[in-house]
Amino acid sequence: MTTRNSELNALLEPAINALGFRLWGIEYNPQGKYSMLRVYIDKEEGVGIEDCAQASRQISSILDVEDPISGEYTLEVSSPGLDRVLFSLSQFDEYLGWHVNVRLTENFESKRKFVGQIKKVINDEVVMIIGEEEYTIPYELIDKANLISQV
């Protein structure tokens, strides 16, 4: 998680929790006037459009007051969906047995992309089964991970 996302997490999580949602994750893509701040919220019974609208109003108010991002950006609040991005090591632990698509920041075992099943999480590493092989990938190398399906 980037420093900016950590700061945004700390700023927004209490308000999102107070609304009855879980802050699933934050993506900030700086692209000049086309910058995008995407906030994913979740709750046990699922997230609907009204939930996103309610959270969006609350988040907008906080961002207007605190102004943590300079310049223009678009705020989008959404559900993580079925192919959800995994933002933390604890989220990998929640989805043991699921198949995941993982992109790394650098080569590991001569590859940057892995598609396989999450076997377990040990310390700061994700153990995946890919074909007949087992890989233990340091979490710090994971750039992005999306769920694919449950086994």
pTM for the structure as a whole? 0.88
Predicted local distance difference test score (pLDDT) of residue 150: 73
> How many helices (H) and strands (E) in the chain?
3, 8
Which residues have CB under 8 Å from 64's CB, separation 6+?
A: none
pLDDT digits (tens, 9 = 90+) for 82-107: 899 999 999 999 999 999 999 999 99
pLDDT digits (tens, 9 = 90+) for 101-130: 999 999 999 999 999 999 999 999 999 999
For each of the domains in the chain, give its residue range(s) and CATH number, in order of start. 3-78 (3.30.300.70), 89-150 (2.30.30.180)
Evaluate whether 80 touches 57 at the Cβ level (below 8 Å): no
> Which sign does the torsion angle of CA 6, 127, 145, 96 carry?
negative
Section 66-90 average pLDDT: 93
